[in-house]
Structure 1
Amino acid sequence: MTDHGLGRIGVWTFAFDGRPASEVREAAAEIEELGYGTLWFGEGFGRDSVSQSWLLLSATRRIQVAAGIANIALRDPISMAAAERAINEAYPGRYVLGLGGHRISDEPIQMDGYAIPSKGRAVASMGAYLDSMDAIPLTSAASPYPPRRALAALGPKMLELAAGRTLGAHPYFVPVEHTARARETMGPDALLAVEQAVVLDADVSRAREVAREHVGFYAAAAPHQIASLRRLGFGEEEITQVSDRMVDAIVAYGDMGAIEKRVRAHVDAGADHVCLQVLTARPDEMPRAEWRELAAL
């Protein structure tokens, strides 16, 4: 296994959305100084993926910045390819473009009451998007480093596409069992950068409730995650009732020992890189104290 330049441990967060740019810059610089290899961020209805990438890269000097993910339903391949080249030229070798948002059916998906246009079937739509990005005759200055892309991949066909067409896969909301399956599917050389949700709280009962809320959200509202849970052997009642077994598989919670054990399990199962998403009872606040503590990993 190799870290593909990302380091073994990274941070994954939605917490920058809604925070002032000055506060985001300060937090990003601290995450870099704490020694994390890569800073991943999600995309919703806060800053778009391109502007967030520029903000984080401009606030840091060495750390890798990775979009986890830029939603292909929200921008044309031309604008995505042009932005990718511009960022990679300005910050050579420090940017990973994670692509996703293919998890949509033939009908628009509702996000906070807003209809995201359909892109069609998952693997076909992502393959076509990559084809379009590669075919665009860009004229802007190019970086000496080739672009680095990864795909949000859960099912075997998307994992195969990730291994064949990009640096590798960035699975989100997955247990260790999925990591082992993904490594077997993609082979030994493709990047496997796994998101792992964690609740750092020695009060196990309180930590599990935070974990349950996180798992319950995706188990109720994310069809692609529900399909993934079914493939992993979780039954319909476990999914609808948010079973303890499912919560324990998806989220690592408790003290540092519990978090370290889960990270090691992912690495032993084939992960090159594990990015930690800290969950707290106050998702509107950046978990800077937890990022500092987890840096010991």
Structure 2
Amino acid sequence: MRLGFSIGTLGPVASGPDEQLKLVGEAERLGYESVWASEGYGADPATTLAWLAAGTERVELGSGIIQISGRTAVATAMAAATIDRLSGGRFRLGLGTSGPQVTEGWHGRRYERPLAHLRDYVQVVRTALAREPVRHTGPTLELPLPDSRGKALSMAIGPVRQPLPIHLAAMGPKAIALAGEIADGWLPIHFPPEHVAESLGHLRTGAALAGRDPAGIAVSPMVMAMVDDDADYARDVVRPMLALYLGGMGSREVNFYNRLAHRLGFAAAAARVQDAYLDGGMGEAMEELPDDVVDALALCGTPGRVRERLEAYREAGATTLIVGLNAPTLDDRLEQLGWLAELNS
């Protein structure tokens, strides 16, 4: 199992481009397989990754993930091909549906038939990246429009790699099966190793539908990570991000991360965290987030415990474990990169 590093939704804009490049350069030096930029309502991941491509030589670069509601499928294909060319063939395209909060509240688009939309979207992206005329008729996308005065076009450039790897973020059984059917990789987030192992059955089901070998599908869980001799301190470092996801990443009615916690057996705690976040704020939500939930959803604790959890992810079938860091300073984050690499060796 290799390690990846997620720079989050703010990336170089939050910590400064020089600091972020130091982190990514250190990850590359330490042998991290990949660096990922995510998307919320902050920094643009495509721009960030294009910039990181210029400052690195070997590390793979991934979008983890680009929200399909934020840009058309062909716009995503153009960005993917561009980054792959700028990086010399090191780009991986991670896609996801996001949820109603961002789709409707930020992008102003209805969150309807997300899995059908994701399937259509991936098909159009693959056609465009192959530089074939983009013709598609699906339940959520049609190109060209039936009453259009335009004709089907082919993209003027292509990626270095053909086919360019596409990874899908997926949390529920149907979404995981879809990843197994149409994607080159699966990106679960906040999945304990035990749940990764259980969910691989859904991935295999999707792969079987398409006549694919599931062994060829990358499994890359994303987790918040913090190693420290003081286990309580390690939990406190990752607790704010987990409280945000469980409490604020969605409405009271639809929060996929909160639903995941319910499925994992933490229904009561997840409900308390969400109520505290929506009725009070981050501080109140953190107070309601118990240690056992933090221990399950994050890679945190003493070096011995983190080593054990890394081994558990390896045994569960993870091919790459993507770690996000919330340590307070640049030096702390650099230290964490080294510590995690050592524990995974």
TM-score (norm 1): 0.87
Could you tell me which residue of structure 2 aligns to residue 195 of structure 1?
222
| 1:80 Cα offset (Å) | 0.4
Q: 1:116 to 1:169 in 2, by over 3 A?
A: farther
Aligned partners of 1:106 and 1:120 also within 8 Å: no
Could you tell me which residue of structure 1 aligns to residue 276 of structure 2?
none
Tell me the SS of whatever aligns to 2:220. Answer: strand
Tell me the SS of whatever aligns to 2:126. Answer: helix
Tell me the SS of whatever aligns to 2:119. Answer: helix
Aligned partners of 1:41 and 1:69 also within 8 Å: yes
Q: Which runs of 5+ in 2 are unaligned?
A: 128-133, 135-153, 205-213, 250-254, 273-287
Relative to its length, the structure with more helix (as a share) is: 2
Aligned partners of 2:50 and 2:86 also within 8 Å: no
Q: 1:201 to 1:131 in 2, by over 3 A?
A: same
Whichever residue aligns with residue 133 of structure 1, its letter is V
1:153, 1:289 → 2: CA distance? 31
| 1:271 Cα offset (Å) | 0.9
Aligned partners of 1:106 and 1:121 also within 8 Å: no
Match of 2:66 among 70, 78, 95: 70
Aligned partners of 1:170 and 1:194 also within 8 Å: yes
Aligned partners of 1:8 and 1:272 also within 8 Å: yes
Q: Which string of whole-angstrom CA distances, capped at 9 and with x for unpartnered residues, describes residues 45-85 of structure 1?
A: 44311111111111111111111111112111121011112
Could you tell me which residue of structure 1 aligns to residue 169 of structure 2?
152
Structure 1 residue 98 corresponds to structure 2 residue 94: yes
2:331, 2:13 → 1: CA distance? 10
Q: Which runs of 5+ in 1 are unaligned?
A: 1-6
TM-score (norm 2): 0.75
| 1:107 Cα offset (Å) | 9.2
Q: Which string of whole-angstrom CA distances, capped at 9 and with x for unpartnered residues, describes residues 200-248 of structure 1?
A: 2211222222333222211112201112222223223454242332111
Higher relative contact order (CA 8 A, sep 6+): 1
Q: Which string of whole-angstrom CA distances, capped at 9 and with x for unpartnered residues, describes residues 10-43 of structure 1?
A: 2122253323333333332222111111112222
Structure 1 residue 289 corresponds to structure 2 residue 335: yes
Return 201-210 or 262-271, whichever deviates more: 201-210
1:107, 1:268 → 2: CA distance? 34
Q: 1:120 to 1:151 in 2, by over 3 A?
A: same
The alignment covers a number of residue pairs equal to: 286
Aligned partners of 2:19 and 2:330 also within 8 Å: no
Could you tell me which residue of structure 2 aligns to residue 236 of structure 1?
268
Aligned partners of 2:69 and 2:107 also within 8 Å: no
Match of 1:117 among 101, 109, 113: 109
2:340, 2:49 → 1: CA distance? 23
Aligned partners of 1:88 and 1:145 also within 8 Å: no
1:151, 1:284 → 2: CA distance? 30
Q: Which string of whole-angstrom CA distances, capped at 9 and with x for unpartnered residues, describes residues 64-119 of structure 1?
A: 1111111112111121011112222333431111101x132499544xxx465334
Alignment of 1:186-265 (within 5 A): 186-187=203-204, 188-189=214-215, 190-222=217-249, 223-240=255-272, 241-265=288-312
C-alpha RMSD of the superposition:
2.4
Could you tell me which residue of structure 2 aligns to residue 4 of structure 1?
none
Aligned partners of 2:70 and 2:107 also within 8 Å: no
Structure 1 residue 167 corresponds to structure 2 residue 184: yes
1:214, 1:134 → 2: CA distance? 33
Q: Which has the larger radius of gyration?
A: 2
Whichever residue aligns with residue 51 of structure 1, its letter is T
| 1:142 Cα offset (Å) | 4.1
Match of 1:55 among 48, 51, 55: 51
Aligned partners of 2:192 and 2:297 also within 8 Å: yes
Tell me the SS of whatever aligns to 1:11. Answer: strand
Q: 1:238 to 1:47 in 2, by over 3 A?
A: closer
Tell me the SS of whatever aligns to 2:5. Answer: strand
Could you tell me which residue of structure 2 aligns to residue 19 of structure 1?
15
| 1:258 Cα offset (Å) | 1.8
Q: Which string of whole-angstrom CA distances, capped at 9 and with x for unpartnered residues, describes residues 227-281 of structure 1?
A: 222222322345424233211101122222222211110111111111111232x
Tell me the SS of whatever aligns to 1:196. Answer: strand
Aligned partners of 1:193 and 1:271 also within 8 Å: yes
Could you tell me which residue of structure 2 aligns to residue 126 of structure 1?
118
Return 125-134 or 28-37, whichever deviates more: 125-134
1:53, 1:106 → 2: CA distance? 25
Aligned partners of 1:194 and 1:273 also within 8 Å: yes
